[in-house]
Structure 1
Amino acid sequence: MELSDRIKAARKHAGLTQSQLADHVGIAQTAISQLESGKTLRSSYLLQIAEACGVSVMWLASGIGGMVMPPEQAAFDLEGREQWKAFEEGMELAHRDIDENMASTVGAAPISAWGDESLLDDEVGIPFLREIQLPGGAGHTLIEQSHTAKLRFDKHSLRARGVPFDKAFCVIISGNSMEPVLHDGSTVAINTGQKSVVDGKMYALKHSGQLRVKVLYRLPGGGIRLKSHNNAEHPDESYTPEQLNENEIEVIGRVFWGASFF
């Protein structure tokens, strides 16, 4: 279940309209609408939304646990709310640190990170997707879009490859599983409008809040096989449809570009 689905479910649980929820939180109704439609991928008002709807903030933010906690777990959620407040207060600083790290990492590749103000008329800035550590120290992460670090791409090149500008995102490779094709720190660009698996093509995946890049193959019955180029250290992984759901594995988009120094 995506953040947009959880916010909608929380609002309906509370019996509120979008306008009523927005009034409780102190934001515009359009902000709630954009969250529920998935047009907005993050919000600094998740704690307020959770409180207004009477749901767990950890569930709302990450899908961890149940939507409504039983009384014996209320203290845990209260602790989670306090952690989330501290998390939100440090979020902007964390974002800045991560974006600066992205810029330095991508700077070693053939294309560098730029702001929108430097783009030419025939260029578009493609934002990054990144992992954000959730509070609590349990290693839980969620994936969200960076609103600062971007790579510049030629619009004609994207059109020639059938990539809609608003469906393109960049992902940084972590680890050696895709060597020797893509090294640790390499950057790939994905088309989130292409999620249907074509055997032998490379895709970005969301796996329990973790970003992964793998070569995919379809399996009978709707499952998929994940293949790493460094197969000696990272053996193939096969999942049935049920296991994909249990492990929260979702295809985000197909890789159409990559860059790396060797």
Structure 2
Amino acid sequence: MSHLKDRIKQARDYGGLTQKQLAERVGVSQPVISQLERGDNLQSVHLLKIAEVCGVDPSWLSSGSGEGPGAAVERADSAVSAAGKSPADLVRAMLATRAGKALSKEARERLLGAAEDQPASTFIPAPAAATKGEIVIPQYDIRASMGHGQVAPDYAEVVRNVIVKESYLQENGITFTSPAHLAMITGWGQSMEGTINDKDPLIVDRGVNEFAGDGIYVLTWNDHLYIKRLQMVSKDTIELISDNPKHKDREVPLDSVTIHARVLLIWNAKKA
């Protein structure tokens, strides 16, 4: 059975949260979460709130019993895919589990409302489950524009899974914050042409939400979603670079850019 400190980190990764983000939502300081993940305070009174914020089974988090992160969703996904039901049916099945009930009312309503807006045809059946040494990477139906930008949707809906050998990522020097943070999106446009071509699938790390050195990121600027190469100009300014010389680069205030993910690999074997 895993240790509590390991389950807390696993829950945080499943929720797609940094230590700082989890601390803010639980209402504690970041050092408290750090201490929990080191095993310094195994009798924390914050476990129920952590479980609620991360969307995991409180019993599993506190004792290791019950269902681990994602188990209920995987079962519901399999059942609904087999029955050919709608995205809303899938979400209702997930919300009926203990993990789903642990979510806040607002989160439950938003998830269901988003799913009800989607036609059943947007879901592509998932492939077989991953085996040891493989990672399931969900693909998101979110057109991250490489041209003039595109208004981002309020949510990104999973449409299918891609199974990748972990050794393939390692051999290509790809490091990531957590397997749970990996996702695939599709680039659209010509501004990054030469590095990312129109409609290239991209593996991104959704655990990177701050500038972490020069690289290619998925970001929102001026209420539009972009994929751009970022380079720091000063402590308050960052440059949005288009690899296609026909497109203009821009220097913008750092606080005007919201980073959603870092591009790790273009699915034409070009490292980002």
- TM-score under structure 2 normalisation? 0.50
Supply the distance in 2 between the matched residues of 1:130 and 1:208 (Cα, whole angstroms): 21
Give 1:96's aligned residue. 121
Counterpart amino acid of residue 156 in structure 1: S
Superposed counterparts of 1:27-176, under 5 Å = 29-32=101-104, 35=107, 43-45=111-113, 89=116, 91-93=117-119, 96-97=121-122, 115-131=126-142, 141-158=152-169, 161-163=174-176, 164-176=178-190
* 2:229 pairs with 1:215: yes
- State the 1:117 CA deviation: 2.2
Q: CA deviation at 1:202?
A: 1.2
Q: Secondary structure at the match of 1:197?
A: coil
Alpha carbons 2:142, 2:185 under 8 Å: kept: no
Would the aligned equivalents of 2:209 and 2:260 in 1 still touch at CA under 8 Å? yes
Q: CA deviation at 1:237?
A: 1.5
Q: 1:154 to 1:228 in 2, by over 3 A?
A: same
Q: What residue is the counterpart of 1:185 in the other structure?
A: 199
* 1:219 CA displacement: 2.2
CA displacement at 1:34 relative to structure 2: 9.3
- Equivalence for 2:266: 258
When residues 117 and 174 of structure 1 are mapped into structure 2, their CA distance, relative to the original with a 3 A threshold, is same
Consecutive unaligned residues of structure 1, counting only runs of 5 or more, are 10-17, 20-25, 47-87, 101-113, 133-138
Instruction: Tell me if structure 1 keeps the 8 A contact 2:140–2:159.
Output: no
Which sits farther off after the overlay, 120-129 or 192-201? 192-201
Whether the 8 Å CA contact 2:138–2:158 is kept in 1: the answer is yes
For residues 171 and 152 of structure 1, the distance between their equivalents in structure 2, rounded to whole angstroms, comes to 14
- CA shift in 2, pair 1:192/1:34, >3 Å: farther
Offset of residue 178 of structure 1: 0.9
Deviation, 1:166, is: 0.7
Q: Secondary structure at the match of 2:234?
A: coil
The separation in 2 between residues aligned to 1:43 and 1:29, in whole angstroms, is 12
The C-alpha deviation readout for 1:147-170, integer Å capped at 9, x for no partner, is 331222112344663321011111
Give how far 1:196 is off. 4.0
Unaligned runs of at least 5 residues, structure 2: 1-16, 26-48, 53-94, 144-149
SS at match of 2:211: coil
Letter in 2 for 1:176: Q
Partner of 1:201: 215
CA 1:96/1:258 → structure 2, altered by over 3 Å: closer, same or farther? same
- Distance, in Å, in 1 between the alignment partners of 2:151 and 2:174 is 35
Are residue 237 (structure 1) and residue 250 (structure 2) matched?
A: yes
TM-score normalised by the chain length of structure 1: 0.52
The CA distance in 2 between the partners of 1:143 and 1:258, in whole Å, is 25
Deviation at 1:33, TM superposition (A): 7.4
Q: CA deviation at 1:175?
A: 0.6
Name the % identity: 15
Q: CA deviation at 1:115?
A: 1.6
- Cα RMSD (Å): 4.0
Q: Contact 1:187–1:258 (CA<8 Å) still a contact in 2? A: yes
What amino acid maps onto 1:30 in structure 2? A
Q: How does 1:6-21 map to 2 (within 5 A)?
A: none
The one-letter amino acid of 1:44's match is: L
